[in-house]
Amino acid sequence: MRKRTEPVALEHERCAAAGSSSSGSAAAALDADCRLKQNLPDAGMKRALGRRKGLWLRLRKILFCVLGLYIAIPFLIKLCPGIQAKLIFLNFVRVPYFIDLKKPQDQGLNHTCNYYLQPEEDVTIGVWHTVPAVWWKNAQGKDQMWYEDALASSHAIILYLHGNAGTRGGDHRVELYKVSAGGTHTCSLGWGDSVGTPSERGMTYDALHVFDWIKARSGDNPVYIWGHSLGTGVATNLVRRLCERETPPDALILESPFTNIREEAKSHPFSVIYRYFPGFDWFFLDPITSSGIKFANDENVKHISCPLLILHAEDDPVVPFQLGRKLYSIAAPARSFRDFKVQFVPFHSDLGYRHKYIYKSPELPRILR
């Protein structure tokens, strides 16, 4: 009996030892696993915090760069007033791109001829001459001489001075030529492919040269000056000079005009971010006038003696409607207009004509007549 019970006892002891050993290993493994699980959230949080910190540092760098650029731009413009002049004329923005201004037919103007006139040495200006629509068929394939001779017909002539940026081939300008060509010649003076550096004095001289060129060929036919946006500044400069030499045009039409370039620059949407910047006038407006750019429509209208028509849309985002209304209030009581009609035609904001779509108005031909 003892021989049989000893092995059994030993076997029980070994099993108990094995059991206690395995339970100890399992407990150790379980404890290690718990510690690992406790450490995992800590590591994840550290990585997330690290990413947030890196993102915040990058964001701070970007903010400091933007702030530095915002502060540097006024000083750059003040030190280099030529930059401001470039921004006024925007003659380097030649949209629409990839059109040949020598071929107005490509823009649907099959009764239009392209000219190049030279008011002075090293200066060349491009002009589109659109004849009245009734001559559309006769104009096909005709040369420049035919178009020049056509100016002597019994139709009135509009000398159109467009605004800054783009060319005389801009979409809204082409559409206006089509409207005005209902009963008149339209000569559009453009800067797109003209040669020379733009300036207020130079642009006024160029417009005067084209006016004289037209009058030399048109005889006693009526000639109207039409300016749009920045072109209104050139138009009033031109008409003032014509009135001073006693050769006024038959009428002046101002579309979306401003009072003077300083007020327009201050009201322009691009100036919003700097409008309340300390020293705004000194940084941004004084460089304009120091560059010889004034476009003082409010002063010019006091010296103009011919009929005046002002067209302005109430929802104009570029030249605020109140500037056009203010210009009218200055011109209407001026002594120079006492024998001439001064008319202001507003276009309601519901029409959506904004800065350059007044040509869409079905009333425009009637207004012009």
Residues involved in catalysis: 229, 316, 355
Beta carbons within 8 Å of 99's beta carbon, 6+ residues apart: 106, 107, 167, 169
d(CA 368, CA 75): 46
Judge whether 323 and 263 are in contact, CB under 8 Å: yes
For residue 13, how many C-alpha atoms fall within 13 Å in the half-sphere facing its CB?
Answer: 6
Helix, strand, or coil here: 103? coil
Helices (H), the chain: 2-79, 81-89, 144-150, 171-180, 200-218, 230-244, 261-267, 280, 286-290, 297-300, 321-331, 364-368
d(CA 134, CA 256): 29
The torsion defined by the Cα of 227, 232, 235 and 240, in degrees rounded to 10, comes to 140
Beta bridge partners of 156: 184
